[in-house]
């Protein structure tokens, strides 16, 4: 008989793989539209725009300090899953533009789409004991210790990232980007509830 409070290895693999693919699709839509988002991903996008450095490499570099924080907070298993998720996501963001060419997308729909994809991706990975690193790690720490939902914490962090984005984006692009980030944050706030999901 399986333990309903624990995921099996195959459940962890498929759950994290699903999250990685959904996040990769979300980033593909976001960068295709020229949008940004909050959190470490948005910071990596801004640095990539400003320097011309490839996004996957910047994304990995930005996430390294948070990976150490995750290891100290949750231990080696969490850190290993987060490292695998981060490396795989960086890889898929490098490959996906060669595999899937996007055309015209209505900006409002694109914003809602990438925000929803990010939310689905983060939820899948977190529920299987990992994360995509970045500010989600301190946000989850705050939720665990003080009960403030991670989505709301991440929305607060987004304010700083979008303040920087306002210096390089047009008001319209900034607005659509904010819609996508808000969709992501609200998705997590509504759906990431430890009292409704007990498996680890």
Query: In the chain, pLDDT over 70 holds for what percent of residues?
Result: 89
Average pLDDT over residues 92-120: 91
Residue carrying structure tokens 């060419």: 101
Residue 77 has pLDDT above 70, yes or no: yes
Query: What dihedral do alpha carbons 152, 182, 119, 117 form, nearest 10°?
Result: -170
For 85-133, give the secondary structure using H, E and C: HHHHHHHHHHHHHHHCCCCCCCHHHHHHHHHHHHHHHHHHHHCCCCCCC
Q: How long, in residues, is the chain?
A: 200
Amino acid 7: pLDDT: 64
pTM of the model: 0.78
Distances (CA, A) of 182 to 28, 131, 143, 152: 18, 19, 18, 10
pLDDT, tens digit, 9 for 90 and up, residues 21-45: 999 999 999 989 989 887 888 888 8
pLDDT tens digit string along 133-192?
A: 677 777 777 877 787 777 677 778 778 888 888 888 889 999 999 899 888 878 877 776
Q: In the chain, where are the structural domains located?
A: 9-191
Amino acid 1: pLDDT: 47
- Report pLDDT for 192: 62
Q: What is the CA radius of gyration of the chain?
A: 16
């Amino acid at each position: 008989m399986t333990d309903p409070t624990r995921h099996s290895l195959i459940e962890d693999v498929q759950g994290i793989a699903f999250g990685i693919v959904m996040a990769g699709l979300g980033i593909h839509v976001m960068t295709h539209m020229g949008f940004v988002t909050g959190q470490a991903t948005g910071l990596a996008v801004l640095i990539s725009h400003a320097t011309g450095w490839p996004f996957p490499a910047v994304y990995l570099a930005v996430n390294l300090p948070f990976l150490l924080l995750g290891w100290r907070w949750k231990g080696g298993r969490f850190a290993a899953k987060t490292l695998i998720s981060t490396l795989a996501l960086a890889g898929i963001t490098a490959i996906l533009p060669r595999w899937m060419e996007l055309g015209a997308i209505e900006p409002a729909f694109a914003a809602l789409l990438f925000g929803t994809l990010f939310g689905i991706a983060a939820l899948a990975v977190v529920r299987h004991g990992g994360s995509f690193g970045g500010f989600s790690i301190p946000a989850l720490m705050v939720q665990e210790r003080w009960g403030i939902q991670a989505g709301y914490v991440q929305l607060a962090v987004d304010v700083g990232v979008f303040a920087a984005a306002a210096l390089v984006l047009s008001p319209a692009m900034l607005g659509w980007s904010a819609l996508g980030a808000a969709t992501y944050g609200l998705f997590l706030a509504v759906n990431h509830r430890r009292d409704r999901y007990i498996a680890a």
